A and B are shown apart, each in its own frame.
Chain A
Amino acid sequence: MYEFKQIVRLDFINLITNPMWVFFSTAFPFLMVLILGFLSSSDWGKSVTAYDYYGITMMIYAALNTATISANSFMEERIKGGNLRIIHAPVGPFAIHFSKVIASFAFGTVCHLTTGMALHFAAGVHYGTTGLAGALAIIVLLEFFASALGVLLCCVFRSESAANQILSLVITLLAILGGLFFRVDGLGSSAERLSGFFPVKWVCTALFALVWDNDPSLLAPATAILLVASAAFVAASSMIFHTEDYI
Chain B
Amino acid sequence: MNPLLEIANLEKNYRERKVIHGISFSVFPGEILCLLGPNGAGKSTTINVLTGALGHSAGSIAYKGIPVKKNSRAFKGEIGIVPQELSLYEDLTATQNIRFFCSLYGIKGKELSEKTDVAIRFAGLEDRAKDKVKTFSGGMKRRLNIACAIAHDPELIIMDEPTVGVDPQSRNHILDSIRELRSKGKTIIYTTHYMEEVEEISTRILIMDHGKIIAEGTKEEIKERLAGDRELTVEYEAASPVDAGGFMNIEGVRKVTPIPEGVKISSESGVENIDRIVALLMGAKAKISNITCRKASIETVFLQLTGTTLRD
Contact = CB atoms under 8 A, between A and B. Distances in A.
A94 to B, nearest CB: 12
A85 interface: yes
Given A78-B91, A247-B53, A85 B103 contact: no
Interface residues of A, number: 24
A88 B53 contact: yes
B76 A81 contact: no
A90 B101 contact: no
Contacts of A3: 103-106
B53 A81 contact: no
Interface string B82-105: 010111111110000100110111
A157 B77 CA distance: 30
Given A17-B91, A81-B85, A90-B76, A244 B54 contact: yes
A170 B106 CA distance: 39
B124 to A, nearest CB: 21
Nearest to B97: A82
Contacts of B92: 13, 82
A187 interface: no
B101 A2 contact: no
B89 A82 contact: yes
A92 B88 CA distance: 20
B306 to A, nearest CB: 24
A232 interface: no
Nearest to A81: B87
B76 A85 contact: no
Interface string A77-93: 01101101111111110
A129 interface: no
Interface of chain A, helix or strand or loop or mixed? helix
Given A3-B106, A81-B88, A89 B53 contact: no
A223 B204 CA distance: 62
A127 B77 CA distance: 49
B73 interface: yes
A10 interface: yes
Contacts of A13: 92
A244 B55 contact: yes
Contact of B148 (A6, A85, A90, A243): A85
Contact of B89 (A2, A10, A90, A243): A10
Nearest to A78: B90
A88 B55 contact: no
B276 interface: no
A88 B88 contact: no
Given A14-B91, A243-B53, A90 B48 contact: no
B74 interface: yes
Nearest to B152: A89
Contacts of A81: 85-90
Contact of B106 (A2, A10, A17, A79): A2
A211 B105 CA distance: 47
A82 B76 contact: no
Interface string B34-55: 0000000000000010011111
Interface in B85-131: 85-92, 97, 100-101, 103-106, 108
Interface string A2-32: 1100110010011001000000000000000
Nearest to B80: A88
B82 to A, nearest CB: 9
A244 B45 CA distance: 11
Contact of B87 (A6, A82, A92): A82
B234 interface: no
A11 B199 CA distance: 42
Interface of A: 2-3, 6-7, 10, 13-14, 17, 78-79, 81-82, 84-92, 243-244, 247
19 contacts: A6-B100, A10-B89, A78-B90, A78-B91, A79-B89, A79-B91, A81-B85, A81-B90, A85-B83, A85-B101, A88-B51, A88-B76, A89-B101, A90-B76, A90-B77, A90-B104, A244-B53, A244-B55, A247-B53
Interface of B: 48, 51-55, 73-74, 76-77, 81, 83, 85-92, 97, 100-101, 103-106, 108, 148
Closest 4 CB pairs of A and B: A85-B87, A89-B104, A82-B89, A90-B76
